[in-house]
Structures are given as structure tokens and as C-alpha cells.
Structure 1
């Protein structure tokens, strides 16, 4: 089949790009190796996504927000404030929503609900306009991009062509590699265990980032557990992988006791409230975001360290930026994959993401180094930052996704 755009990967970024372009008049093919039924029943994967205000607006514009609320009325939890801890000290740098113009810094929602809602929006758009074709259950076996166009060959032998191929198939994108774009990986040598917990002490809808000695803990505040009424949160524990394996082997009671201890009792008793999931801690920055007849979006464009919670937000930003460039080119009767069109997208998205990617890596390295000099520097930096209101205002603006 022949398309204007082929998107490789029907994760949140690929689905959102198809939805963002669904009324542009362009014919879109969406290739995904998972089956359609697997996409429709995307399972809970442990990940709670922290949405900036900008991302929340984009999700409303695309209809995802409304679909998620229809699925689960209490799905969105406000993220009002944030605290950053270092070591065993109870002192924290506090980032208040009052430093912004909103009642909250952002929102939290489960990743699997975003996936389901995005697919439902794409299916509705395909029914309404007939310009989106879902090619599911087939992996791409051959990728070619050149001056004349892009071509994907699937496992069943079918070949599809397009004017533009877009990679949206994860930070370890096989499509990006097949096109010949190298990526710089920042492997932190750690793994993350993510799950939902309930706890005794209310979180007041405040997120925690705790750079403790020998471990990193994050607490993402959720709405109270509907079954018990207990305070509920998403917990993210980062350790060397062997430590994570040991945590995965614990039964529910022992896991809760261990997490209670790891949080130094500050949450009261902690109990496991979901399945547990493990992910490697690896940041990825491609050398380029575009090539002839090719572009990257989502994690394929930048794979962030989760400490700033910007991964999905940068993914939505890439979708918005590329969609703007493609719609403008198409409306003007231009080639949507013209070199200057793609170069403008690359320039805009790199400028918006690369500085924070580099800064995040430096912060993560400093606050996970436990030597005596590093501990002193970590503590001094956190105390200094707490006294600098302009700095905290900038951090709040970054978390909220708008200018300070």
C-alpha cells in the first residue's frame, strides 16, 4: 500500500501523531508488531505519567483526556507540589504550585490508560475520515529511506511505501538504527522498580524525589485507593539490578515492610497495591532526529532519565512540533518530507529537549554518587536551591511545562 506517512510503532507517541494528523488530509499507515487486541487491552505496566499543563492541554485537544475520564473518573490526580530530599536528612527543597499561575504543577495518570485512549481516538478518526490504516501484528523486517521515498517490508512479506517514515518505536528504536542514525546512550547502571502502594501518612498530593544513600526513591501522589480509602501513590525505587531482583522476589507482606523501612517510616506503614514492574535506567539521545524521508518522535527522539518526569511530555511535544510542520507544508502544497521541513522540526525539538537532557544527566550523576565530597556538595546545593526563589520558580515552570 502507498501512504503519505508511515509511522513505525503504535505506542503513545505513534498513536498521538496519527491522531494529531488525522484531519490534515494526509493518508497515514500505523505499523505495530503487537496484535490489535493486545493494543486495545493494554495492561497496567506500573508507570504513572506526570503530565505538564501543556501536555494536559494537548491531551484535551486530541480527545484523550475525555476518553480517560470516561474509562476511569478518578484517573487524573493533581500534582500540586514537589519536594526533593537528600540522604537521611528530613530537610527538602520544596517546589510549590504557588510559584506558578495554576492550582497544580501538573497531573498524574496511568500509562496504560493513555495507550487505550489514544488507540480509541485513532480508531474513531479512522472511521470518521478513512485516512488512517492500522497495520498490526506484523514486525518490520526491512526499512529503506531515500530521496524517492520510504519503504517498509513487514514479516508477512507485504511492502508499504510512503513519502515520510516516522519512528515511534521506543528509545531503543530499531527503525532509527535501520535508517543509520546513531544514538548516544547514558546507561546509569541501575534498574527501576515501579508499583502502586498505599500508606498511612497523607501525601497531600506532593511528589517526592529522594536521593537517599545507596538508593533513589520517588513518590508520585495518586487519588486515594477507591477500595480502602487509604492514601495511594506510585513508588519508584532505583537500585543496582541485583537489589531490584531481590525486591521482586519478596512476597507482598515482606515487600511492604521493606518499603516502609526504605522510606524511613515517613509514610507510616506501606503496603503493595499493584503488580511490580522493572525497567532499565538508560537515557538515549540520537545524533540526529531526521534523515532523508525520515523523522523520530517520542522516546525515539529523546529517551529521558525519569528524574524530571519529562519523558512522555517531550514525546507529546515532538508530536505537536512535527505535526505543525507537516500540516503547514501540506497546506502550502509543499513536499511534507522536504529537507527544510524536517530540519526545522529537528532544530525546534532539539532546542526544546537537549539542554534539559544534559542537565538531568549531570544532576542524576551527582545525586547518586555517595562519596563523602559528593554528599557534602549534594547537601549544600539543595540548601542553596531552597533559598533561591527565582531558581525554584524556574523549576516549577519546567515541571508545569510553561515559561517562568
Structure 2
């Protein structure tokens, strides 16, 4: 019997396996993808915005050191735009530290695989999960290749559409946002200032994430039908379309490499634990990308669970003790639920193209720009190193959702009919 069976060898599952094996626990790591593809994952278009705390967590287990540093781009500012206005609410750290770092997702996956592969305590199983059950004695797993496994604890790290979560009877609140997200790299004429853009334009949501001086990751969110029309364009026409969508703010854009399209579906599991079973990563909380918390929450979840399991192992205790798992669940829920709700509220308001909503969010951003303490708190939260003060369950990022209410209050004092329009 293994100590832990981890279902899913994505970055979070790999990091968890590395942390546990490094502390002497025996691990079975299960994924339907074969070893060559795990060892050399292809670029998938996703650029991950990592906080300083997430970088520290990866450094603690040797993963960060394996990422080529010339592929890491600092984020010095974050700017939020609304509609066609050139005004932006600007966030920074308040000092010389970057807000975070942009890292290609496939390089995180490769680094995590390399670090996990060198550990003696990990048994690899390249097969899909067929079934999973648990009882007071063990979690029991059957794989499609005929392998049968038992473990003291099973952990799901198999995406927001987790099959193991479903088989274990844990429901999830799924929200299909009815939109798709295109990600691709673009070269642009004018150099950026290493700031990340979030642009809530009319009929579309745009992001631009800096990689190098004249190279960025473009993220375009559209209804599925419009996305199909956009991606059907040949490369030159698509480059022109992206230049137009971004308002030529960095001059002409040229597509570099392939485009990738992903459906926008958010998920929040109703429980994070069951009998000898736990959820981490997107299987627990699958975030909308607008607030860039997805991978950061995943890194935190594996760390929160790993430290409890390692401590129990060192003390000779049951690593799947129900109280231990409940404490993990409580901690991760407190850290994620407010921000998950805040993100959904932000998505709801900032993708509403009605005139009242557009004016409210514009006024909200103006007010927010004048709330220097709030912006400073957000910047400090993003740059807070691992091991510093605990992350509050009422993270400063959730304060973004208060901006619309501030705007509505301000609107109530404006002359009619503008106040009625904003309200």
C-alpha cells in the first residue's frame, strides 16, 4: 500500500508528489499522458502570472530553479482599462519589487516533472483512472491498464472537470461563462513597460501580458461564435484583427506561433475532502483567469495539504485522519472562497455591455484609482513572500468588487437623470 496516490500529473500534482516523496512518503502518480509527453510538454499558449509566494513555494521543492530564467518576465505594474478610455487604474508593489512573474505553463510542467522524476519515492502509472472508492482502511483505485492500487490517501489533481471527484460523490458548482479564451504570442511595434493589461472593452475582454520588450501574450475573450470567426482567419488577417482589437496601443501586432482556444468554465467543489480523499488544484477550485489566481491557488493548495501530511507522517499519525483533512479543507476554503466569489462578481459586472454597467465600472475605476491604500494593499498582497504574514481570507483583491458599489453611492449624489442612469 502506498502512502498517497495522486491522480493527475499536471503542475500541481507533480509538485505535491515531489514535496511528499522528498519527505519520505511513498507516492503513486497517475496520469493518462505517457512519459515522453510529460517530460517534454508542448507549448499550450498559457502564460502563468505567478506571485512571489508561488515562486517561493516552487523554489522550496526545487522546481523554480529548473525554469530557464531567460523565459521568466517580471510584471512591474497591472493596469485595468474600461471601454475605449485611455484611463487605467494602475497597481504596483509600492517599491522596486515586481508584482509577479510571467512564466510559460509548459515550462512549469517540464520543471515539475524533472524534479519529481529524480525522486525515488514516486511510482509512475501512465494510464487513465477507471474507478476509485474508499473505505476506513484505504483508498482503492483501478486503472484502465488493469493495475490495481491501494493508498492511505488518494488526492485528485485532475482538472476542474475531475472524474475522480465525481466518482467520490463530491459535487462542484460549475459556471460556464458562455465564452472562449484565445491565447497567443504577438510581436508589437512599440515596447511595453512590463505592465499587464486587463481591458474590459465593449463586447470583448482583452489582456496583454508582457514577455519581452516587443513580445507579449495576447488573451482575447469572446462569445464562442465570434471566437470561431476570429480563429478561422489566416495568420496575416488575424494579426490585423488583433491590432485593431487592441486599438493599436502598441502599434501593429504580428502573430507569433500557434493560437490556442479554451472554454471559460469556473468550478468550486462543494467539499474538498472525503473519506481518505482530498482535492487540490483546479479539482478543488477552478478559477476564471481574469484575476490570475488559478495556478497560485493550486500551488497554495498542494502546499497546505503537503505540510499537514508530512507533519502527520513524521509523528507516526494517520495521514488521512478526518480531522487533519477537515483542517486542510477549512484553511483552503477560507483562502479561496471570498476571492472566487469576488472574481465571479468582477466577471459579471465587467462583461456587462449595458450602458449603466459601463458607466458604473468606469466611475468605479476612477474612484479606485483615488483609493491609494487599497491599491497599495493589493500590490503588497501580490508581492508578499512565502512565509510572511498569513494571507487573509478577505484578500485585498476582493476589494475590486467594492468599486462598483462605491461608484453607485457616488452616482446617487449626481444630478438627475445621470444618477438614475448610474444606479
TM-superposed deviation, 1:397: 2.9
TM-superposed deviation, 1:400: 3.1
Q: Deviations over 1:319-371 (max 9, x none)?
A: 11000110111111110000011001000101111100000100111000011
What secondary structure sits across from 2:22 in the alignment?
Answer: coil
Which position in structure 2 is the counterpart of 1:236? 219
Q: Deviations over 1:52-83 (max 9, x none)?
A: 000111122221222112xxx41100001010
Distance 1:222 1:62 in 2: 25
Mapping for residues 1-400 of structure 1, pairs under 5 Å: 2-69=1-68, 73-98=69-94, 101-125=95-119, 130-136=120-126, 138-224=127-213, 231-400=214-383
TM-superposed deviation, 1:25: 1.6
Q: How many residue pairs were aligned?
A: 387
Distance 1:34 1:281 in 2: 23
2:93·2:380 contact (CA, 8 Å) conserved in 1? no
2:93·2:376 contact (CA, 8 Å) conserved in 1? no
Q: CA RMSD in A?
A: 1.1
Distance 1:102 1:15 in 2: 32
CA spacing shift, 1:304–1:204, aligned 2, 3 Å: same
CA spacing shift, 1:397–1:146, aligned 2, 3 Å: farther
1:308·1:399 contact (CA, 8 Å) conserved in 2? no
Distance 1:179 1:147 in 2: 14
Q: Deviations over 1:99-120 (max 9, x none)?
A: xx55200000100001111000
TM-superposed deviation, 1:394: 2.4
1:20·1:62 contact (CA, 8 Å) conserved in 2? yes
2:5·2:29 contact (CA, 8 Å) conserved in 1? yes
What secondary structure sits across from 2:123 in the alignment?
Answer: strand
2:268·2:285 contact (CA, 8 Å) conserved in 1? yes
What secondary structure sits across from 1:276 in the alignment?
Answer: strand
Distance 2:378 2:345 in 1: 16
CA spacing shift, 1:106–1:216, aligned 2, 3 Å: same
What secondary structure sits across from 1:275 in the alignment?
Answer: strand
TM-score normalised per structure 1: 0.94
TM-score normalised per structure 2: 0.90
TM-superposed deviation, 1:398: 3.6
1:95·1:392 contact (CA, 8 Å) conserved in 2? yes
Distance 2:145 2:196 in 1: 46
1:74·1:223 contact (CA, 8 Å) conserved in 2? no
Poorly superposed stretches of 4+, deviation over 4 Å: 401-404
What secondary structure sits across from 1:233 in the alignment?
Answer: strand
Distance 1:233 1:296 in 2: 33
Unaligned runs of 5+ in 2: 386-390, 397-423
Unaligned runs of 5+ in 1: 225-230
